[in-house]
């Protein structure tokens, strides 16, 4: 995609911003799967815009209340898409609105941004939609999390390990000497190319979630919304925060989670657990302000070097005590930029793996800013193979 879903959830539980900077076509490409019904091998999901004119905009800094890409089974559409695809990607509002909610859905607080796995089968807000089969995967390039140490805070960008394939003449493939992620699946299309090129396929974070559908009393367009399921952190993440999203890492886990018609809930929840397959690096504290959406939100920073001073104009703009309007009209308070963290850490950006540089190049290739005069970046229903 380029879809940079930077999640930095402003809650004590964990993150509240994500990065989702990829375009719809690239998102679909990164979510290719082995079809069980068509027998045509790997296919791509269908992209479907949310109802009511809501839009998804790629961004390096996505806050709760925005619409972000979500992967679900096509069976949720009651046969409308069954003959076209088994999976659908539809942007949904971040922050679950229960189907029985009374009043304005914008008044639902941030407490439903995340759903703790330990209580999701008991708490009505999540138990009811889960029993209806409303299981989903929240798609993101990565998320932000803050490490707190002796009164100081430093954000980190966390994402899936990436790999690079080199494509040569006659479509021979050779992998660069980089660490191998055993969970990675590659789907390299054969193309005649005399020159050596670098072929990459973004590996997104696929975070388990629960969604619900709220129908307004005036019978206008329904609101699709979701919560990200969180678990206790694995050792690779626990030094930053004690919670992390439940990330699914292979086709089998993904299919069991979204295939509600064939896999019962009690079986699907066995895949909700911490993962070790993550990479991370420190980033600028400016991303703590949801209005700051520069590409340097995800660029590695050297904590051993003093940070460059922020221009007075930018500093004053970020510090303005006004509210941000998300793409669905939700207002969310902003905070002033955090103070720089100058304390050193053992890792320096100069020693970061090539995976980090690969991600930066890919995300910037697909960067696109919202334009109120343009239509939605994707058609109502489109097949990403087109």
Over residues 76-97, the pLDDT tens digits come to 998 778 778 899 999 999 999 9
Q: Can you name the residues that pair with 89 across neighbouring β-strands? A: 47, 71
Angle, CA of 290, 296 and 298, to the nearest 5°:
80
Structure tokens at 275: 């993962």
**Structural tokens at position 377:** 């970046």
Spatial CA neighbour of 205 closest among 19, 24, 12, 352: 19
Helix (H) or strand (E) holding 313: helix 312-319
**Least confident segment among 67-71, 220-224, 317-321, 380-384:** 380-384
Q: Are 274 and 241 in contact (CB under 8 A)?
A: no
CA pair distance 341, 343, nearest whole angstrom: 6
Give the other-Cβ count within 10 Å of 182's Cβ. 7
Q: Supply 57's token pair.
A: 């905009």
> What average pLDDT score do residues 114-133 get?
97
User: Following DSSP, what letter does each residue of 19-37 receive, concatenated?
Assistant: EE---HHHHHHHT-EE-SS
Residue labelled with tokens 């430093």 = 154
What's the pLDDT score for residue 145? 95
Weakest mean pLDDT among 1-15, 161-175, 181-195: 181-195
Burial class (CB in 10 A: 0-12, 13-18, 19+), 206: buried
Q: Check residue 85 and give its pLDDT.
A: 87
Model confidence over 210-254: pLDDT tens digits? 999 999 999 999 999 999 999 999 999 999 999 999 999 999 999
How many whole angstroms separate alpha carbon 237 and alpha carbon 233?
A: 6
Predicted model pTM: 0.71
pLDDT at position 195: 41
Whether the pLDDT of residue 13 is over 80: the answer is no
- 54, 98, 320, 333 from 329: Cα distances, Å: 9, 18, 19, 13
Q: Which two tokens stand for residue 19?
A: 């990065």
What pLDDT, on the 0 to 100 scale, is given for residue 82?
73
Residues 133, 74 contacting (CB under 8 angstroms): no
H or E element that contains 365: helix 354-365
Nearest Cα neighbor of 90 from 140, 24, 9, 8 is 24
pLDDT of residue 171: 33
The predicted pLDDT at position 179 comes to 39
């Amino acid at each position: 995609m380029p879809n940079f879903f930077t999640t930095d959830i402003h809650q004590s539980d964990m993150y509240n911003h994500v990065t989702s900077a990829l375009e719809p076509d690239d998102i679909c490409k990164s979510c290719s799967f082995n079809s069980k019904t068509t027998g045509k091998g790997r296919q791509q999901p269908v992209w479907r815009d949310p109802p009511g004119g809501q839009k998804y905009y790629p961004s390096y800094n996505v806050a709760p209340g925005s619409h972000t890409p979500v992967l679900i089974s096509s069976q949720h559409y009651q046969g409308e898409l069954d003959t076209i695809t088994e999976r659908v990607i539809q942007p949904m509002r971040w922050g679950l609105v229960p189907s029985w909610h009374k009043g304005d859905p914008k008044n639902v607080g941030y407490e439903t941004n995340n759903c703790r796995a330990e209580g999701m089968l008991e708490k009505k807000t999540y138990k009811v939609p889960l029993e209806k089969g409303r299981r989903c995967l929240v798609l993101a390039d990565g998320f932000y999390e803050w490490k707190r140490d002796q009164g100081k805070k430093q954000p980190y960008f966390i994402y899936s390990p990436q790999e690079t394939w080199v494509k040569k003449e006659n479509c021979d493939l050779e992998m660069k000497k980089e660490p191998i992620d055993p969970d990675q699946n590659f789907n390299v299309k054969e193309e005649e190319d005399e020159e050596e090129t670098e072929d990459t396929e973004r590996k997104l974070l696929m975070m388990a979630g629960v969604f619900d559908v709220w129908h307004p009393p005036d019978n206008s367009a329904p609101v699709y919304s979701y919560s990200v399921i969180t678990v206790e952190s694995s050792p690779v993440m626990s030094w930053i925060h004690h919670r992390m999203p439940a990330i699914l890492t292979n086709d089998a886990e993904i299919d069991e989670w979204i295939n509600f018609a064939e896999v019962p809930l009690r079986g699907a929840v066995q895949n909700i657990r911490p993962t070790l397959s993550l990479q991370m690096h420190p980033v600028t504290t400016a991303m703590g302000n949801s209005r700051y959406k520069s590409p340097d939100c995800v660029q590695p920073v050297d904590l051993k070097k003093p940070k460059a001073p922020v221009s007075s104009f930018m500093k004053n703009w970020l510090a303005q005590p006004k509210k941000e309007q998300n793409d669905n009209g939700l207002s969310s308070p902003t905070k002033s930029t955090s103070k720089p963290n100058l304390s050193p850490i053992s890792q320096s950006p100069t020693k970061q793996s090539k995976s980090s540089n690969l991600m930066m190049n890919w995300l910037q290739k697909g960067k696109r800013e919202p334009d109120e005069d343009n239509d939605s970046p994707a058609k109502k229903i489109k097949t990403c193979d087109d």
